[in-house]
Amino acid sequence: MSEPKLVVEGLKKYFPIRRGITEALTFKPPRYVKAVDGISFEVFEGDVFCLVGESGCGKTTTGRLIVRLIEATDGRMRYKVSEELKNQIPEDLLQDGKYVDLLGKLPKNVDKALRKDTQIIFQDPYGSLNPRMTLKDILNEPLQVHNIGASESERLEIIHRALSEVKLTPPEEFVDRYPHMLSGGQRQRVAIARAIILNPSLVVADEPVSMLDVSIRAEILQLMLDLKAARNLSYVFITHDLAVANYICNRIAVMYLGKIVEMGITDKVIGNPQHPYTQALVAAVPEPDPKNRLRIKEVPIKGEIPSAANIPSGCRLHPRCPYAMDICSKEEPPMVEVEKDHYVSCWLHTKK
């Protein structure tokens, strides 16, 4: 088995809630939205690691924390650096000879080099490309920032190569276009090209196909898998769609209200869900069998996801859980291994 590319331990992100004047005057403690509340996982080299969960569960925040668009409140995020990158990093920052804590204080050049190595693809290809820039400008920006390519013509060549890699051919026809001249799928290809043009080793893909037409989702997913094979990438793939997750991921983590509730090999988690929440998610996937089209499926959990500012005590699912017990509202369940490479955080599976 390969080594972990990224080890996340106890990652937390609390967003403070602006206090009203009465709250400030009465010295009430400041309140937080606990978007990510202490999650741990490992992404192995060559993995497609999926984070799934419904809206507001903190999966996008996790993705943004990994590429350091926002600062974490607490936790550790150890990142394995490649051999060539290792030379740029001072000895005292390296742990076990190859891991760097992304959340620690990093010198400017190290920070820049690490940003180059981790890239993100956003959900919305309509918003992630500056409408006032041509594709050439958009793809030139990362090259300029990292001083790649000696001359303008050399950079143009790199841009052409990246565009052909994402199947926008012939590239000469695309470089001078503006984003509004492209379809959604083509835009997402440009966003992917921008992410891979710097030769990263870890790419966070934040729901990269959920805003695309269903007819081209598979194409984009296949393109991402091709690129992974060709460039030896690891993905952190964020999605709310179990079908997509099933298609692309080899490992999966299910998130609920800022916590990971179930994690493991995709086939095991989706084929044999152990947590009530995962079971509900799997049950909600439409069945492709026409014989079942008239049967109304019973979804085991009810109600809405609670606010992340007002998290239930104990197990976070207990107000919606059909199997809730006394202990569920009192104590948080620990993460236990139910079978090899399959972890669940639920009192039902905890041996007392």
Partner 1 sequence: MSFIARVYAGLSWLRREVLSQFSGKVAIALLVAIVAVSIYAAATMPSNYNVIWNYPLYWEANPKNSPPEWSTYFGTTCLTNQVYDLRTATPRISVDEEGRVRLTYNMTYTLDVKSYPRALILIVDSMTIPANVRNVRVLNTIVKPDGKQIQVFDDLVDFTKNVTAGSFKFTQTFRPELDKIYNSLLLNYINYNIDPNDVGVNYLSYIFGEITQPDPKSTARTTYLTGRYVISLTLDFRVEGVAQELLLRSIKNAARFEYVVVGTCYGLMGTDYQGRDLAMGLLYGFPIALLIGLGTALMSTGLGLLAGMVSGYYGGFIDEFIQRFIDVLGSIPLLPILILVAAAAQTAFGADPNKPVLMLLTILGVLVLFGWGGLAIVVRSMTLSIKSELYVEAAKSIGASNFRILIKHILPQLVPYIAASLVYSTPNAILTEAGLSVLGIYHGLPTWGGILAEARTQGRVEYWWWIFPPGLLIAITSLTFVLLGLALEKVVEPRLRR
Give contact residues for partner 1 (rule: CB under 8 A).
64, 67-69, 111-112, 115-116, 119-120, 122, 124, 127-130, 132, 141-142, 145-146, 191, 194, 198
Q: Between residues 65 and 245, which has the closer beta carbon with respect to partner 1?
A: 65
Q: Between residues 15 and 323, which has the closer beta carbon with respect to partner 1?
A: 15
Helix (H, G, I), strand (E, B) or coil at 195: helix
Q: Between residues 102 and 344, which has the closer beta carbon with respect to partner 1?
A: 102
Q: Between residues 133 and 324, which has the closer beta carbon with respect to partner 1?
A: 133
Q: Between residues 190 and 244, which has the closer beta carbon with respect to partner 1?
A: 190
Nearest distance in Å: CB 67, partner 1: 5
Beta bridge partners of 252: 50, 264
Q: Between residues 42 and 124, which has the closer beta carbon with respect to partner 1?
A: 124
Asked if residue 300 has a cis previous peptide bond (ω within 30° of 0), the answer is no
Q: Between residues 80 and 194, which has the closer beta carbon with respect to partner 1?
A: 194
Nearest distance in Å: CB 133, partner 1: 8
Nearest distance in Å: CB 183, partner 1: 18
Q: What is the rounded distance in angstroms from the CA atom of residue 173 to the CA atom of residue 150? A: 24
Nearest distance in Å: CB 77, partner 1: 15
Nearest distance in Å: CB 174, partner 1: 18
Taking each continuous run of H as one helix and of E as one strand, the counts in the chain are 12, 13
Q: Is the dihedral of CA 318, 274, 75, 60 positive or negative?
A: negative
CB 251, CB 50: distance < 8 Å: yes
Nearest distance in Å: CB 57, partner 1: 20
Q: Is the dihedral of CA 55, 236, 76, 275 positive or negative?
A: positive
DSSP codes of every residue in 45-98: TT-EEEEE-STTSSHHHHHHHHTTSS--SEEEEEEEPPHHHHTTS-GGGEETTT
Nearest distance in Å: CB 168, partner 1: 18
Antiparallel, parallel or unpaired: β 4-16 and 48-52: unpaired
| CA-based nearest residue to 315, from 244, 256, 236 | 256
Q: State both tokens at 119.
A: 């890239």
Nearest distance in Å: CB 240, partner 1: 18
CB 6, CB 200: distance < 8 Å: no
Q: Between residues 158 and 282, which has the closer beta carbon with respect to partner 1?
A: 158
Q: What is the rounded distance in angstroms from the CA atom of residue 85 to the CA atom of residue 82? A: 5
Which residues, in sequence order, are CB contacts of 293 under 8 Å at separation 6+? none
Q: Between residues 172 and 337, which has the closer beta carbon with respect to partner 1?
A: 172
Nearest distance in Å: CB 29, partner 1: 22
DSSP codes of every residue in 144-189: HHTT-SSSHHHHHHHHHHHHHHTT--SHHHHTT--GGGS-HHHHHH
CB 44, CB 4: distance < 8 Å: yes
